[in-house]
Amino acid sequence: METIEHKSDPIIQLDELRRSFVVRAKAGRIRRDKRVVHAVDGITASINAGEACGYIGANGAGKSTTIKMLTGILVPSSGRVRTCGFDPVPQRRTLACEIGVVFGQRSQLWWDLPLGESFTILAAVHRISAEAAKPRIDELIDGLELSGFLNTPVRQLSLGERMRGEVAAALVHRPRLLILDEPTIGLDMISKERLRQFLIAERAERGTTLLLTTHDMSDIERLCERVLVVDHGRLAYDGTLDGLARRVAMQRVLIVDLAEPRSPIAVPSATNVGSELNGARQQFSFAPDETTAAKVLAEVTAVAEVRDLTLSEPAIEDIVRTLYHR
Ligand SMILES: Nc1ncnc2c1ncn2[C@@H]1O[C@H](COP(=O)(O)OP(=O)(O)OP(=O)(O)O)[C@@H](O)[C@H]1O
């Protein structure tokens, strides 16, 4: 397996980390069969301060279970985990001062209070004086463009607004490590991009370590230089995104809508993989390490008028499947 060399002390260290669950399934009218699910099945990895890592895998691969162990929510069945040098479960309170966590599906904001009040309460929870917290809160309001809805109760916010609020809430106490579980799930393109830009800037300015799980490959491309792929609780890959792309020969697809229907267009640097709407929409698959979307588009526009286009990312499920079959 490809691995990345580490020079300084890791901010996250996992050694043969395991967690299983006993699940009881109905097997007849009264009988219940016991089954053991190995959600995390021997993961060893270390992440250095300042790194930005994507933690990806199919549904049920073990991502959330790993994150719960990293943050002290769940006790490992065996193995060892250290987050910011702490044993997460017994040292959960100390660890909470060092990390920020954002769960896309869960909120840490006070639902009925105006968004801004959650930040003040969180600063107090972290024992930061109002005076010391103000410049940081202002910085987050500015960076995440929250000023327009600070006085709105959280329950009335749009998903995009709330997610930006969640990220600010996780960063009020200036954590060294920010863990994001599906931070862009359900967001539109503009909200996703805003959030990504903020995270890039936060990391550049403060050296915050990022660990994120996502089903969106664009999050990884924009934010992470390193990817860990988990499959059935085991690490299937640990290395760069480029390395992963080479391993699974990740193809991208350019979908173009033409001004007029026409027969399938052949271009030199991509393969025409589909035609719909009588040829008014055509799809071109290409290898990103051999050519670019711009070049493919130029080749198409040389022979037909293009009205609209979309660039589709490879699905994470497909990447994992390809890795697994190898
Ligand atoms: N509390 C639990 N009790 C029983 N089984 C569990 C529990 N938590 C997780 N599992 C099982 O462990 C496996 C890994 O789940 P986990 O939530 O870690 O996956 P995931 O990679 O985060 O998936 P997703 O992308 O769908 O969120 C799954 O088979 C899941 O059903």
Task: For residue range 13-54, list pLDDT tens digits in order.
Answer: 999 999 999 988 777 777 778 889 999 999 999 999 999 999
CB atoms within 10 A of CB 319: 25
Tell me, what's the pLDDT at 151? 95
Using the 3D structure, point to which of 223, 246, 269 is the last residue of a domain: 246
Tell me, what's the pLDDT at 10? 92
Kindly state whether residues 263 and 171 are assigned to the same domain: no
Kindly state whether residues 144 and 265 are assigned to the same domain: no
Kindly state whether residues 180 and 219 are assigned to the same domain: yes
Tell me, what's the pLDDT at 244? 83
pLDDT 10s digits, 91-118: 999 999 999 999 877 888 999 999 999 9
For residues 278-303, give the mean pLDDT: 91
Kindly state whether residues 236 and 277 are assigned to the same domain: no
Ligand 1, atom nearest to 65 Cα: 18
Q: Which amino acid makes up residue 106?
A: R
* Among 321, 253, 320, residue whose Cα is nearest residue 287: 253
Q: How far are the Cα atoms of 97, 260, 270, 288, 297 from residue 281, in angstroms, in the given order?
A: 52, 9, 15, 21, 13
Kindly state whether residues 187 and 280 are assigned to the same domain: no
Name the DSSP class of 176.
S
Report yes or no on 25 lying in a domain.
no
Does the pLDDT at position 296 exceed 80?
Answer: yes
Angle at CA of residue 37, ends 60 and 108, nearest 5° = 50
Name the DSSP class of 53.
E
CA gap 254, 245 in Å, rounded: 17
For residues 120-125, give the mean pLDDT: 94
- 184 or 326: whose pLDDT is higher? 184
CA gap 41, 127 in Å, rounded: 38
Kindly state whether residues 202 and 268 are assigned to the same domain: no
Phi and psi angles of residue 26, each rounded to the nearest 5 degrees, phi first: -65, 130
CA gap 227, 212 in Å, rounded: 10
Tell me, what's the pLDDT at 308? 93
> Rounded to the nearest whole angstrom, what is the distance from the C-alpha of residue 189 to the centroid of ligand 1?
28
pLDDT 10s digits, 52-79: 999 998 888 999 999 999 999 999 999 9
Kindly state whether residues 308 and 211 are assigned to the same domain: no
* Parallel/antiparallel/unpaired status of strands 234-240 and 226-231: antiparallel
For residues 165-184, give the mean pLDDT: 94
Report yes or no on 60 lying in a domain.
yes
Check if the beta carbon of residue 283 is closer than 8 Å to that of residue 257: no
Kindly state whether residues 113 and 228 are assigned to the same domain: yes
CA gap 78, 49 in Å, rounded: 25
Atom 7 in ligand 1: residue holding the nearest Cα? 21
> Rounded to the nearest whole angstrom, what is the distance from the C-alpha of residue 22 to the centroid of ligand 1?
12
- 325 or 191: whose pLDDT is higher? 191
User: What ipTM was reported for this prediction?
Assistant: 0.97
Angle at CA of residue 198, ends 211 and 184, nearest 5° = 60
Using the 3D structure, point to which of 206, 224, 246 is the last residue of a domain: 246
Q: At 92, which CATH number? A: 3.40.50.300
Q: At 264, which CATH number? A: 3.30.70
Q: How many domains does the chain have?
A: 2
Q: Could you give the maximum distance between any two Cα atoms of the chain, in Å?
A: 69
Kindly state whether residues 196 and 73 are assigned to the same domain: yes
Report yes or no on 163 lying in a domain.
yes
* Parallel/antiparallel/unpaired status of strands 209-213 and 52-56: parallel
Report yes or no on 233 lying in a domain.
yes
Angle at CA of residue 168, ends 166 and 170, nearest 5° = 70
* Among 308, 264, 306, residue whose Cα is nearest residue 284: 264
Tell me, what's the pLDDT at 32? 77
Report yes or no on 226 lying in a domain.
yes
- 87-96, 184-193, 240-249, range with greatest mean pLDDT: 87-96
Report yes or no on 31 lying in a domain.
no
Does the pLDDT at position 187 exceed 90?
Answer: no
Tell me, what's the pLDDT at 4? 43
Kindly state whether residues 152 and 91 are assigned to the same domain: yes
Kindly state whether residues 72 and 139 are assigned to the same domain: yes
Return mean pLDDT, the chain: 89
> Rounded to the nearest whole angstrom, what is the distance from the C-alpha of residue 83 to the centroid of ligand 1?
21
Phi and psi angles of residue 187, each rounded to the nearest 5 degrees, phi first: -85, 150
> Rounded to the nearest whole angstrom, what is the distance from the C-alpha of residue 63 to the centroid of ligand 1?
8
Tell me, what's the pLDDT at 41? 96
Pocket of ligand 1 (CB under 6 A): 21, 23, 37, 39, 57, 59-65
Ligand 1, atom nearest to 62 Cα: 18
Phi and psi angles of residue 161, each rounded to the nearest 5 degrees, phi first: -65, -45
What confidence category does residue 325 fall into, taking pLDDT thresholds of 50, 70 and 90?
low
Report yes or no on 241 lying in a domain.
yes
Kindly state whether residues 242 and 254 are assigned to the same domain: no
**Domain carrying residue 166:** 49-77+84-246
CA gap 39, 18 in Å, rounded: 8
Report yes or no on 8 lying in a domain.
no
- Of all residues in the chain, the percent with pLDDT exceeding 90 is 68
Using the 3D structure, point to which of 229, 246, 263 is the last residue of a domain: 246
